[in-house]
Amino acid sequence: MKKVNVKFPDGSVEICQSGKTVREIISSWREDDFASTVAARVNGEMVDLGRPVEEDVELEFISMSSADGLGVLRHSISHIMAQAVQEIFEGVKVTIGPSIEAGFYYDFEYSDTFTPEDLDRIEKKMHEIVSADYRFVRRELSREEAVSFFEDRGEPYKVELINDLPDDVTSVSLYSQGEFVDLCRGPHIPSTGMVRAFKLLNVAGAYWRGDEKNKMLQRIYGTGFTTQEELDNYLRVIEEARKRDHRRLGRELDLFQINDEAGPGLIIFHPKGALLRTIIEDWEKKEHLKRGYDIVMGPQILKGDLWKKSGHFDHYRENMYFTEVDEQLYGIKPMNCLAHMLIYKSKIRSYRDLPLRYFELGTVLRHEKTGVLHGLMRARQFTQDDAHILCTPDQLNAEIRAIADLVDYAMGVFGFEYEVELSTKPDDSIGSDEDWKLATDALRQALEDNNMVYDINEGDGAFYGPKIDFKLRDALGRKWQCATIQCDFALPERFDLSYVGPDGEKHRPVMLHRVILGAIERFMGILIEHYAGAFPVWLSPVQASILTVTDNQIPHGEAVYKQLIDAGIRCEKDFRNEKLGYKIREGQMKKVPYMLVIGDREVESGTISPRQRDGKNLGSVSVSDFVSIVNEKRDKYE
């Protein structure tokens, strides 16, 4: 009998008989780990515990509580759900059912619709399947066998998946538990009885293979954890996150409204929201001027012909609004680049002038489809902290790196973590393949030079060029694109931009489109959720609220108010005839950073007693000391 060397994670090596399964090897190696082991890694490849080991290998065990293990568990739960659905509902066709970031889903085709009540029935059936403790059994079939197998079972989606596999794939794996069989790469947990905690969350529509030309399937989302406690905890966290929803806080904190009468996707900023936005915008102008940007301003509408020249008319028209002025077609701007191009063209430019950096807090309108609108995060009118940088090809790398640095700095100031993606050429695009390659390489090189970790997002670039996207997450963990850097050779070409080089000849500049916060509205949405409405002092629209104990202190309160306003502190008066506890509760719910209590003691000593949002009482301090405290925090972005 052949012997094989099995190397374990701790470095030890065991000599085993060839053909033993991973399960057998584990159970003899370390018994106490066995119960929570869901799968294994053989030479780096994830496999089932039932997989036989027939050569020298490095073996790692995947515990249910690890990220990979949780993924295996959830994927297995999705199969259990699919089994339950097929047992309950006649004629359901299965498609795909992967594990995802916080759970799993499975897409079904079914003539009827699944209702929320159906989820309870499905869950019940799933519990039965778990109790039955079916083993997950893997077997391999040739492509042809697999195709006829699924044809016989009336599963056309599975047949399509197999037929679309690359030619060099000759066999596929099938997993079964009980009567249920699914085409699947695996691995899976050993048996359904290992599942301890799961919950089905919601039903949603999803296009087959993510293509809107395909049939809409029904997707059921769920999640699973290793213990009921973890599941309960997760559900609690989700519940808490809902309370941080910016649409809810926007109303509660009186920041903005979106009104049916005005129209969907259109934000109406109330005084506090407008103030918050102003604080952010003022900060941005200052930071851009420090970094060699020129502030510019373009018009809201530009002639249709200009949009034809830029390519927007051919590639972006369905997202644009148009209007007619004196029988001429005008496009309402969905982007800010056109006016910036015209500013560049207003003079002959020398290589000595470059780079030119035009910055505009540009308000744009885009016709977003009704189903995608989402509070501040996705609106039809929004303002970008936009800039277009025109530079020589030699300057490109340094400019991209400087933008990435600015993004990193800005995210640090607001206390955000972000994720980076490089998006490449989409199907619908302008410009030569050669330029696309140059542009993509320039972005990639800058990311490498800045030692940034990034993912590739194939085919997701803008129609005029590739881009680096910086994504932030909302309270529920959904990703939103905020900053972006887009490299563009096409528009300078279309507008025939040029500069005179050292050789006295005309050359074509390269253009970078970039935003740092992205859309101010979206950024504010993320900001509201990030801080749960309790903004740091430097951002808080109301930094302090003055609270009198009784009417007797109103004159002193007025004097304090004037001093604070004069010192540039954003503050409010609460001189109402209410008990102090009542006013404090209200201030607390409005998440005001400081409440300045004024009673007889303070009137006598000419002071105020600040109470911090965290409940801490600072005792009696002079107004000027309080101003210093606030200004210090402002300067440190706290």
**Could you list the active site residues?**
337, 366, 384, 386, 388, 467, 513
* Out of 86, 95, 99, 218, the residue judged to bind RNA by CB under 7 A: 218
Site string for RNA, 249-288 (x = CB under 7 A): --x------x-x---xx-----------------------
CB of 533 to RNA, least distance (A): 12
Strands (DSSP E) found in 151-210: 171-177, 180-183, 197-207
Q: Which of 61, 193, 57 is closest to 134 using CA atoms?
A: 193
Which span sits near RNA by CB under 7 A: 5-13, 50-58, 184-192, 597-605?
A: 597-605
In the complex, minimum distance from the CB of residue 529 to RNA, in angstroms, rounded to a whole number: 11
Among 1, 566, 615, 635, contact with RNA (rule: CB under 7 A): 615
d(CA 490, CA 68) in angstroms, rounded, equals: 43
311 binds RNA (CB under 7 A): no
| Site track 451-470 with RNA (rule: CB under 7 A), x = hit | ---------x-x------x-
360 part of the interface to RNA, by CB under 7 A: no
Helices (H) and strands (E) in the chain, counts: 20, 35
Q: Which is nearer to RNA, 22 or 524 (CB)?
A: 524
380 to 419, contacts with RNA by CB under 7 A? 380, 382, 384
Least separation, in Å, of the C-beta of 532 and RNA? 12
- Residue 59 belongs to what H/E stretch? strand 57-63
- Nearer to RNA by Cβ, of 69 and 610: the residue is 610
Which C-beta is closer to RNA: that of 4 or that of 241?
Answer: 241
> Interface with RNA includes 478 (CB under 7 A)?
yes
Residues with Cβ within 8 Å of 602's Cβ and at least 6 positions away in sequence, in order, are: 553, 556, 608, 609, 620
Residues numbered 522-541 forming contacts with RNA, rule: CB under 7 A: 522
Q: Name residues whose C-beta falls within 8 Å of residue 211's C-beta, 6 or more positions apart in sequence.
A: none
Site for RNA in 57-116 (CB under 7 A): 113, 115-116
426 counts as binding RNA under rule CB under 7 A: yes
CA angle 587, 588, 594 (to 5 degrees): 70
Contact by Cβ (8 Å): 598, 622: no
Q: How far is the CB of 426 from RNA (least distance, A)?
A: 6
Name which of residues 479 to 498 contact RNA (CB under 7 A): 480-484
- 507 counts as binding RNA under rule CB under 7 A: no
Q: Examine residue 12 and tell whether it contacts RNA (CB under 7 A).
A: no
By C-alpha distance, which of 135, 109, 244, 239 is closest to 191? Answer: 135
Concatenated DSSP letters for 309-333? HHTHHHHTGGG-EEEEETTEEEEEP
Residue among 504 and 581 whose Cβ is closer to RNA: 581
Residue 233 interacts with RNA (CB under 7 A)?
no
Distance CA 100, CA 486 (A): 29
List the beta bridge partners of residue 353: none
**Is the CB of 158 or the CB of 611 nearer to RNA?**
611
How long is the chain? 638
Can you tell me the distance from the alpha carbon of 419 to that of 469, in angstroms, rounded to the nearest whole number?
8
Q: What DSSP assignment string belongs to 217-230?
A: EEEEEEEEESSHHH
* Stretch of 124-132, 145-153, 291-299, 361-369 contacting RNA, by CB under 7 A: 361-369
Q: Interacting stretch for RNA, rule CB under 7 A, among 26-34, 370-378, 498-506, 625-633?
A: 370-378
239 binds RNA (CB under 7 A): no
CB of 146 to RNA, least distance (A): 26
Residue 136 or 198 having the CB closest to RNA: 198
**158 is a site residue for RNA (CB under 7 A):** no
Binding status of residue 222 toward RNA by CB under 7 A: no
Q: Does 227 bind RNA (CB under 7 A)?
A: no
Contact 524, 277 (CB under 8 A): yes
Binding-site member from 270, 397, 599, 633 for RNA (CB under 7 A): 599
Q: Residues with Cβ < 8 Å from 52, sequence gap 6 or more?
A: 19, 20, 21, 22
Peptide bond into 187 cis (omega under 30): yes
Residue 22's H or E segment, with its range, is helix 22-29
Give how many residues touch RNA by CB under 7 A.
78
Identify the CA nearest to 430 among candidates 315, 309, 313. 315
Q: Looking only at residues 20 through 59 of this chain, which bind RNA when binding is defined by CB under 7 A? A: none
- Mention every residue, 6+ apart, whose C-beta is less than 8 A from residue 98: 75, 78, 104, 105
Report, in angstroms and rounded to the nearest whole number, the Rg of the chain calculated over CA atoms: 31
202: contact with RNA by CB under 7 A: yes
The stretch among 74-82, 183-191, 206-214, 496-504 that binds RNA (CB under 7 A) is 206-214
Regarding 636 and contact with RNA (CB under 7 A), the answer is no
Residue 504 interacting with RNA (CB under 7 A): no
Give the Cα separation of 95 and 83 in Å (integer).
12
What DSSP character marks residue 589? H
Q: Which of residues 534-593 bind RNA (CB under 7 A)?
A: 549-552, 577-582, 584-585, 588-589
Residue 386 or 435 having the CB closest to RNA: 386
